[in-house]
Every structure is written in C-alpha cells, then in structure tokens.
C-alpha cells in the first residue's frame, strides 16, 4: 500500500504494508484530550432536535468533556498507546501536546519511525529514510488547522483565528448530530459531528478528495477530570482502517522550547552569513523587478463571518516600472472581461496623470536631495525588511519545487527597534522562510500574526490574530528570480465599522524586459486596442 500521491512528503521507508498509512495518526493522538463518544441513548429524530448556533454547540461540548476551566488547567500532556491495522500489524505511539497549537506525534513500527507535528509556526513530517520536511500548500494549511483545533481543545476558536458555523442537524445510525464547520484564514476546513444527546464530538471529517480523513472516537474514560477517548478509528479513501488504543495520558509541566519544532541536524550551517548574502541578493532582485513590465492578476475574496466566500472580484493589470522604484498599474480587465472603450479611456487618463505626478515628485526629491527611498516604498513590506527585523532559527535542508532549499523558522528580534510602519507590522509575525540553496534567493515565505496589530491605537484599524500571508518567487528559464505569487488572508476592522474578512491573491506573469523603447512608451502608456 502506498501513501496518497497528493502528499508532498510521501515516505519511501519500508514498514508493514498496511502500517504505512501511519501518516494519519499524527492528528489522532491529538484528539485525546477532548474528543470522545457518549454513552448509548434512546434514538431521537433529527427533526425533534432544536437547531443550535456553532458557539452554543461548542459550549455544550466543553461542558461535556469536563469544563473549560479543567481543560485550561490540563496544560501540556503526553499520551501513549498502541496502533493496530485491520490485518493485525501493531505499533506504538507517543503524542505530546501543548495548548493552544503545538503537537508532536511519534509512531514506531518495528525499526521504522514516523514523526509529525505542528509547531505553531509550521507543520512538518519526518520519516526514518526520508528525513524531515516542512509541509506547504494544501497539506500544510490543513494540518495547521487540525493542529489549532485539536491542541486548542476548542477553547476560544475565534481567538485562534478560526471561523465557525453550524450546519443542519443530521442523522447517523438513527441518532441526531449537530455539525460545526471550522475554517482557517487560509480557507482550510474541517467538520465536527457532535452528539445531540451528550454534546460530545464523535466524528471529525477533514480535507477533500484524496486528502480526506475521517476520525471516530469511542470508549471514553475520565482522566484527571477530563474525558479521554481510549479507542479511535481512522479511515481514508482506498486505505484500510487503523485503530488507536490509548494506554495512558500524563500531564507534564512544560516541554522544551524547541520540542515541537521540526528536527534539524545542520550545526555547520552558517545562517548569519547566508542571510547577509540573501539580503544583498534580494535588494538586487527588487531592483531587477523595476526592469520588467508584467501582468498582475489580483483576486479579492470577501468572506462572511462564517468564513464562506460571499463575493469574488478578479482584476487584471498591466504593470509598468517608473522612476524611484514606483510602479504604475493599468487596469485592463475585470472578472475576465476587457474594459469598455469609455472605461479604458478613463483608466488611460488616470495612469497618465499618475506618471506625471511621479515625475514631478521625483524631480522635487532630486532637487532637495531627499532620501531615494520614497515614503510609499517605506510602507511596503519587503523581503529585505523581514531578514533585517526577524531572527531565524532551526535551519534544515529540504527540497521545494524540485530545488534544494534551506528552511528556517522566524520570529521578531527582541532587541530590534522598528524604523517604519512596515517593520512594526513585521514585529507581530512568526513564520517560515525557504531559501534557494544554489542561487541564495528567497523562494517562499509564510507568516502569520501571533497577536492583533492595531493602527492608531486601534481607533483607525486593526488586523486580527491569525491573519496570514504567503509570498513566492520563481526562477525563470534565463535563471532570473522574479515574484510569482502573494496571498494575504485577514480579519480587518476599520474605524468603528463592522469587521471585514478578506483574502487577496496576486499572481505575477508575462514578464517582459523593459527596454529603452518601452520606457519612452511608458511616459504615455499604450492605449487599449
């Protein structure tokens, strides 16, 4: 049996055939603090069950498993037990967990070892033969959501940056169940089933298609005042079932600071020297981008309070570099439809005016010998700023997009004093960066807000904890690195208005070297055909 091809970290190590689906178990052990199956009850029709909002369903669940106070007091725990396939093959596991979002599961079959976890900064996996790898894209987003849900014990889901909504009551095996959908800022989703009679979560469905996982929980017992499931069954498409049996749950004081981080064995890697070269290369790349025109596809999704997309708008721009590092964006299409003749003419006038004003601004700055760095540029978040403001730790060698990379987690430097608004924002971030090992360029950067960020003391605007972004660069056929994609997902509150949940994705393409001829043409942007 092989692992699903959708997982970028599918291992090649040799274990009993059915035991190789052990990748599923990293999530399961986490559940053993708050997921359980209630005692049998008389059958009840779903039509007789009063619908409840998601917060009420979660509140009933917290009470059923022991109460929020007891759950918070549980702190960090270690869970141990055995895992058995439906073919009778057995292994053991150890799960370490710390509220609100840190997990580490180690699973062993004979001489083979499998380790997965969520550090609060990134999700990762490690095998005996393949080594450790940081998870990205859908796999990383889904694992992070599951980690936040399970390690956090469903306490203060909103504070963790999760949207929740209830679905209609459904019947399973003749019993009614409430359902709650959890959605992260990155739009990963999981659905929990709560027994209407007991309030307990008895089923969790996560992911879609080949990445779908289903977990069912039974044989709950009280341990230190909290209900713990002692038998858990796991199912996945085209995979045999696994049964996890818990033997003990132990409370621990605290784990080591780096216990949940991805294992790293790169003591000889000089990260400081590498980052110095990266900063220099990134400045050169930022300058290089000003030599290109390109197409920008901007997708804006507005979400409701439940995390569902209620409005999507797609805009296509042609982007031209101007003096002073400024770029002019010319709108050419909305939702795939070119602008009308009148709209195109109006946009042409707007861009021409913008170029004229930039020329005047640059001449004024030149005459006054002002700093070359425009005020607007200082407000932009750049890779160079991240490398300057943050400290980078836990370096490891991995592969991304079939290229060797050096991956580091990052957090704000405690001793750094921000010099502008962009750096103040960066000081609220934690995340991970992927550095191309051969070209020494930033290939990918992921970050999220570890706390709220308030503008003007919160009176003007605020970004909510859990807001997240991704930035990627790519190497073209000529070996030149250029921006590829940006994505930003956030909950924003502006002034005294209601909050706004928004997702913005920018994709860059169709790069064309900016020649002398095109520079002259930029002073009068080409008209629409």
State the pLDDT at residue 9: 26
**Beta-sheet strands, E only, within 324-460:** 327-334, 337-338, 390-400, 403-412, 429-436, 442-449, 453-455
Higher-pLDDT residue of 404, 112: 404
| Residue 196 · residue 180 · CB < 8 Å | no
Backbone angles phi, psi at 291, to 5 degrees: -95, 5
Residue 197: the pLDDT is 92
Q: Is the pLDDT of residue 283 over 90?
A: no
pLDDT of residue 241: 81
- Quick check: 213 and 27 in contact, CB under 8 A? yes
Q: Verify cis geometry, omega within 30 degrees of 0, for the bond prior to 108.
A: no
Express each pLDDT in 362-413 by its tens digit. 888 777 655 544 444 444 567 777 778 888 888 888 999 889 999 989 888 8
Q: How far apart are CA 26 and CA 114, in angstroms?
A: 9
C-alpha separations of 513 from 291, 337, 519 in Å: 6, 26, 10
Query: What average pLDDT does range 276-283 have in this prediction?
Result: 79
**Which tens digits make up the pLDDT trace of 46-63?**
678 899 999 999 999 999
- The pLDDT of 87-101, averaged and rounded, is 86
- Distance of alpha carbon 306 from alpha carbon 303, whole angstroms: 8
Residue whose structure tokens are 């009679």: 197
User: What would the two tokens of residue 4 be?
Assistant: 């699903």
Average pLDDT, the chain: 79
Q: Which domains does the chain have, with CATH numbers?
A: 21-39+51-252 (2.50.20.10), 271-522 (no CATH)
Confidence at residue 264, expressed as pLDDT on a 0 to 100 scale: 75
Distance CA 100, CA 123 (A): 14
pLDDT of residue 89: 79
pLDDT tens-digit map of 477-521: 888 888 899 998 876 655 444 556 788 999 999 998 876 444 444
pLDDT in tens, 162-203: 889 999 999 998 999 999 999 987 888 999 999 999 999 999
Whole-structure pTM value: 0.76
| Average pLDDT of the segment spanning 431-444 | 90
Confidence (pLDDT) at 5: 29
Hey, what are 380's tokens? 């932009």
pLDDT of residue 420: 80
Query: Is the predicted pLDDT of residue 132 greater than 90, yes or no?
Result: no
| CA end-to-end distance (rounded Å), the chain | 56
Selected residue with higher pLDDT from 280 and 256: 256
Residue range 318-340: average pLDDT? 90
Per mean pLDDT, which range of 16-20, 160-164, 277-281, 405-409 is the poorest?
16-20
Q: How many CB atoms lie within 10 A of CB 284?
A: 11
Question: What is the C-alpha separation between 443 and 445, in angstroms, rounded?
Answer: 7
Specify the long-range contacts of residues 120-124, CB closer than 8 Å, at least 24 apart.
120/260, 120/430, 121/261, 121/409, 121/411, 121/430, 121/431, 121/432, 122/262, 122/409, 122/431, 122/432, 122/446, 123/147, 124/262
The predicted-structure confidence for 235-274, as pLDDT tens digits, reads as follows 877 777 888 899 999 988 889 888 998 887 666 677 778 8
Q: Model confidence at 81, in pLDDT bands (50, 70, 90)?
A: very high
Provide DSSP, 354-386: HHHHHHHHHHHHHHHT--SS-HHHHHS--HHHH
Residue 459 has pLDDT above 50, yes or no: no
Confidence of residue 17 (pLDDT cuts 50, 70, 90): very low
Give pLDDT tens digits for 294-308: 999 999 988 877 677
């Amino acid at each position: 049996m092989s692992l699903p091809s959708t997982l970028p970290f599918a291992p090649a190590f040799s274990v009993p055939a059915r035991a190789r689906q052990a990748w599923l178990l990293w999530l399961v052990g986490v559940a053993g603090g708050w997921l359980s199956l209630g005692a049998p009850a008389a059958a009840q029709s779903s039509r007789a069950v009063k619908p409840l909002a998601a917060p009420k369903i979660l509140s009933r669940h917290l009470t059923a498993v022991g109460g929020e106070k007891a759950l918070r007091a549980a702190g960090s725990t270690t869970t141990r037990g055995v895992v058995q396939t439906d073919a009778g093959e057995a292994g053991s596991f150890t799960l370490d967990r710390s509220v609100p979002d840190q997990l580490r599961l180690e699973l062993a079959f004979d001489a083979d070892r499998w380790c997965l976890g969520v550090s609060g900064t990134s999700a990762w996996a490690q095998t005996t033969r393949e080594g450790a790898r940081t998870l990205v894209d859908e796999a990383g987003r889904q694992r992070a959501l599951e980690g936040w849900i399970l390690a956090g014990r469903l306490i203060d889901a909103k504070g963790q940056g999760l949207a929740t909504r209830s679905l209609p009551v459904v019947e399973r095996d003749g019993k009614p169940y409430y359902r709650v959908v959890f959605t992260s800022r990155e739009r990963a989703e999981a659905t929990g089933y709560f027994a209407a009679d007991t309030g307990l979560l008895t089923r969790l469905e996560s992911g879609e298609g080949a990445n779908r996982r289903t977990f069912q929980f039974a044989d709950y017992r009280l341990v230190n005042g909290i209900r713990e499931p002692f038998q858990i069954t796991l199912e996945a498409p085209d995979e045999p079932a696994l049964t996890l049996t818990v033997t003990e749950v132990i409370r621990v004081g605290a784990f080591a600071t780096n216990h949940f981080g991805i294992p790293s064995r790169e003591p000889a890697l000089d990260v400081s020297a590498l980052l110095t070269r990266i900063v220099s290369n990134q400045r050169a790349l930022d300058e290089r981008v000003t030599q290109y025109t390109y197409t920008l596809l901007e997708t804006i999704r507005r979400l409701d309070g439940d995390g569902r997309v209620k409005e999507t708008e797609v805009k296509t721009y042609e982007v031209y570099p101007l003096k002073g590092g400024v770029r002019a964006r010319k709108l050419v299409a909305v939702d795939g439809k070119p602008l009308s003749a009148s709209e195109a003419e109006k946009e042409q006038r707007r861009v021409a005016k913008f170029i004229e004003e930039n020329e005047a601004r640059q001449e004024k700055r030149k005459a006054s010998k002002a700093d070359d760095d425009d005020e607007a540029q200082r407000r932009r978040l750049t890779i160079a700023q991240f490398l300057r403001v943050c400290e980078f730790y836990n370096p490891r060698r991995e592969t991304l997009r079939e290229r060797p990379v050096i991956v580091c987690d990052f957090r704000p430097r405690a001793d750094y004093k921000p010099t502008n608004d962009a750096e103040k924002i960066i000081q609220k971030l934690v995340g991970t960066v992927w550095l191309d090992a051969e070209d020494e360029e930033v290939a990918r950067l992921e970050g999220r807000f570890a706390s709220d960020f308030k503008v003007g003391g919160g009176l003007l605007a605020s970004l909510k904890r859990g807001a997240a972004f991704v930035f990627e660069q790519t190497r073209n056929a000529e070996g030149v690195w250029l921006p590829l994609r940006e994505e930003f997902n956030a909950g924003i509150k502006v002034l005294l208005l209601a909050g706004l949940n928004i997702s913005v994705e920018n994709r860059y393409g169709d790069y064309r070297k900016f020649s002398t001829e095109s520079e002259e043409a930029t002073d009068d942007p080409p008209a629409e055909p």
